[in-house]
Amino acid sequence: MTVKLYDIEPYDTYFDAIVLESTEYKDKTGYVFDKTLFFPEEGGQSPDKGQVDGFNVIDVQISGDKIIHFIDGELKVGDSVHGEIDWNHRFLNMQCHSAEHIFSRLVYSKFGFNNVGFHLSDNTATMDYDGFLSPEDIKALELRANEIIIENRPIKAEYPEPDRLKEIEYRSKKELTGPVRIVTVEGVDVCACCAPHVRTTAEIGLFKVLSFEKYKGGVRIHYLAGFRAIADYEVRLSTLRDISATLSAKPYSESEAVRSLNEDNKDLKFRIVNITNQFIESKIRNSFHEGDTFLLYIGTTDEVSCMDFAARVLRGLVPSFASFFGSDEEGYRFIIESSSLNTDSLLNRLKNELNCKCGGKNGSFRGSIELKAEDLIKNFSTIDTTFGV
């Protein structure tokens, strides 16, 4: 069995151990030590980082009583090794995990919802609950979590004796047997947990919900805590500064400036589409001659509404048409219709000979094709009355 030093003193950063064995785990070779400070991937949390004898620790997994270390070097069974964890990574994880315990207890106490999923990696943290929380609920819970953080409550981890454990009411995602590690946030939460935690709530520093969405009948909350939350805030604030400078907007008026710009763009786009449609209609009508039964049109805009407009104009002039919109570099989207001719042979040819993605029925189909305009003209301007070759 590997002694879990992170259980004994999660604030230690280095240790010495003996290599007990080299083992295969999921097609990878790893090493088992008699003791370790490296927390493995467990309970939804990413493993610790660091070095062993100067080699980088790539991954840490747990299998039964063994903690397996995967490194970018080679060790020998029986060797004495020196390990050092990446303290910054460890502490950031502890801040986020301790914050989750506080928030999850608040959710359970106020709404009765259980934490049914937790994921903590280097840049993201999520919590899943089996009931829905409104934006107002989440805002109130976030505020209370930060109040508890400021109250500097002690956080303690221990393995209670079996008789005492029976008397403790604690949260757990599943039934547990054997020794159970209990993490207690004084006056707030008691929960079974395998991960390292900070000593007091004040060390969390800050808790911030980033976003949330409905998930499996409940809610998934994305959040960060501590220095990760501060780093995220600085990135977002820097982005906001750039937006403010670009739009010449004063602080706290950026949203209104963006809304105004969006409305201006919508109005401009509407006018551009109208002008483009006028051009399209003029071009189509100028190419139409009395008695024509088929028209080919090739346009350059990528606006879908213009493509549909062209189809309406063509449909009013001829019984059969092919309309293409796009560019030689990006390819073309198209609408092909006929109210009187058989389109099956053309559809098959497009799919089999021209490698075209398309589909439809009843004489009308749409798709995309990668051909240059000159090849489109070559292939479609001489279509005969059966839509054949």
What is the mean pLDDT of each successive set of 10 residues along the chain, which is 389 residues long? Answer: 92 97 91 97 94 96 93 95 97 97 97 95 93 96 98 96 91 84 96 95 97 95 97 94 91 90 93 94 92 89 90 92 90 86 73 80 85 85 46
The pLDDT score that the predictor gives to residue 382 is 61
Q: For position 43, what pLDDT does the model report?
A: 87
Residue ranges of E strands in the chain: 3-4, 14-25, 28-33, 35-36, 50-52, 55-63, 66-71, 80-85, 115-120, 125-129, 155-158, 182-185, 189-192, 207-215, 218-225, 294-299, 320-327, 331-338, 357-361, 364-369
Pick 3-85's CATH classification: 2.40.30.130, 3.10.20.520, 3.40.50.1820, 3.30.1370.60.
2.40.30.130
b/e sequence 318-350, b meaning 16+ C-beta within 10 Å: bbbbbbbbbeeeebbbbbbbbeebebeebbeeb
Write down the pTM of the prediction. Answer: 0.76
Q: Which fold has domain 279-380?
A: Diaminopimelate Epimerase; Chain A, domain 1 (3.10.310)
Residue % of the chain over a pLDDT of 70: 97
pLDDT number for residue 184: 97
Q: Nearest Cα to 22, choosing from 81, 84, 70? A: 70
Phi, psi of 151 (to 5 degrees): -70, -5
The residues spanned by each domain of the chain are 3-85, 90-238, 279-380
Q: Top-level CATH class of 90-238?
A: alpha beta
